[in-house]
Amino acid sequence: MAMSRYTKTIERDRLEELKGGLLKILKRFLTEESYKVIELKHLDGFLKLLACEDFDRKSFRRLRAISKFLIGLRIPETALIQAYKLIKNYALLEGKDKLLSNIEFIFKNLYKPYLILHKLERLQDVHFHLEGDLLYQMNKLKEIYLREHKRLIGDIFSDDRVLNLDSEVDSLLSSLEAYFKDSKVYSRLLSLHELYKRTLTSIAVVESDFISLYTLTKDVELIFKDIINLIDEAIISLLSETAFLDVLTGVYSRNYLQLILGKEISFCKRHNIPISVILLDVDDFKLINDKYGHDVGDLVLRFLGESIKRIIRSSDIPVRYGGEEFLILLPFTSLEGAYTAGEKVRSYCESKTFTHNSLSITITISVGVAQVEDFENPWQDIKRADKALYMAKSLGKNMVMIASNDI
């Protein structure tokens, strides 16, 4: 009996060590408030999932809640991989065969949402408002690729992996040949398309654990991103001829925001996905213009636009809201995640020196964040974020403020 109690004590201590290791991985990416929620609620639920004998509906609901929570907080997939390796090492040391089996199932399902963050086809409805058959066709091609990629990624982690791309993609690509003729863009797109299909075929015959499948899936993901980026380049080139792209900064215009805001909000409301907004602008921008001239001021705005695009993820929507003010719409993001994203942009800008010829300037920004609560009128939440931005400025600038519920 004493031995049994001793064994249980040792197991409990090792489980606490595992829990501490998982919290250490996550803590680097969380605010103090988010860390407490994970520690007190979701981590215990996750550990219970690991010990499940059979996965029932309640288990699946818990898994989906944890996955949505991690995505909302913008926890990167690298943290997921670190957690997988930590738990697998623990299971191997303890000789827990059931745990090893559960790990593969749980992490494959936790990882799926990370592969569809860019799933929001922001432009798929826009082409109905734009002139030009080519733009319509390019948007349609992107829409089909996004839809098919989401389906195929889900199939990769299923037991029966049949990874065939819809023939509609081949048909549409063939129809585009007349538009592009001898274009290098079209040739590159065809090459990537064939590579994408060959890589999917090779994955279909592989029997692998989570890490091996993850590695192969990243290969597919990189090819897919190259395809989408190539399509986006063509679309942006066409959009630059419209009022939907801010040519100076390289981000979307306010006209574009007005066009797609309702669609983004409706999507998130329908699927019960959090969506947040960031408003930011350059501190003391008028002084920069007065001291160095408007040409330098324009270059500073371009620098900020490039910085924002470098930091945010592909599902986020950066917009030049007006003057030196920028807005970032963040689907799949809770208030805590929006704060983290705002802080990343702020700290990145502060750490980089803007240079032009012999001129060097340290650029700082003030940031306001809010989660969309009024799905019928999201402009009210944008106003709250704007108010938080000006609160940040009044309290000393170069900081991130969370919006209150008062307008």
Instruction: Please give the backbone phi and psi of residue 355, each rounded to the nearest 5 degrees, phi first.
Output: -125, 145
Residue 259 belongs to what H/E stretch? helix 254-270
Q: Among 32, 306, 324, 336, which one carries the catalytic annotation?
A: 324
Measured between alpha carbons, how far is 106 from 342 in angstroms, rounded to an integer?
Answer: 30
Average pLDDT over residues 42-48: 74
The answer on pLDDT for 298 being more than 80 is yes
- In the chain, the amino acid numbered 267 is F
Per-residue pLDDT tens digits for 83-128: 888 888 888 877 777 777 788 888 877 877 776 654 443 443 443 3
> What angle do the packed helices 210-239 and 184-204 form, to 10 degrees?
160
Which tens digit of pLDDT belongs to each residue from 338-366?
999 999 999 999 999 898 888 889 999 99
121 an active-site residue? Answer: no
Give kind and range of the element (H or E) at residue 329: strand 325-331
Q: Which residue has the higher pLDDT, 44 or 286?
A: 286
Quick one: the chain helix, strand, coil %, rounded to 5? 65, 10, 25
- Which spans in 312-370 are helix H? 335-351
Q: Does 193 score more than 60 pLDDT?
A: yes
Ranking 113-117, 129-133, 160-164, 371-375 by mean pLDDT, the lowest is 129-133
Average pLDDT over residues 135-147: 83
37-68 as b/e, with b when 16 or more CB fall inside 10 Å? ebbeebbeebeebbebeeeeeebeebbeebbb
Residue 372 has pLDDT above 80, yes or no: yes
Q: Which of 114, 86, 112, 111 is nearest to 99 (CA)?
A: 86
Taken as a whole, the chain contains a residue count of: 407
CA pair distance 126, 133, nearest whole angstrom = 13
Is residue 41 scored above 80 in pLDDT? no
Q: Is residue 404 predicted with pLDDT exceeding 60?
A: yes
Confidence of residue 68 (pLDDT cuts 50, 70, 90): confident
Buried-state track 328-365, b at ≥16 Cβ within 10 A, e below 16: bbbbbbbbbbbbbbbeebbeebeeeebeeeeeeeebeb
Determine the residue type at 104: E
What lies within 8 Å, CB to CB, of 278 at 6+ separation is 327, 328, 330, 338, 341, 342, 345, 367, 368, 369, 385
Q: What angle do CA 119, 124, 130 make, to 5 degrees?
A: 150
Q: How would residue 5 be classed by pLDDT, with cut points 50, 70 and 90?
A: low
Q: What is the pLDDT of residue 138?
A: 82
Residue 247 vs residues 119, 196, 224, 327: alpha-carbon distances, Å:
25, 32, 26, 16
- Percentage of the chain modeled with pLDDT above 70: 83
Position 123 scores a pLDDT of: 40
What order of strands is seen across the sheet that includes strand 275-282?
317-322, 325-331, 275-282, 365-371, 400-402
Of 110-114, 206-210, 278-282, 366-370, least confident by mean pLDDT is: 206-210
Tell me, rounded to whole angstroms, the distance of Cα 189 from its chain centroid.
24
Yes or no: say if 311 and 338 are a contact pair by the CB < 8 Å rule: no
Q: How far apart are CA 79 and CA 318, in angstroms?
A: 25
- Mean pLDDT estimate for the chain: 81
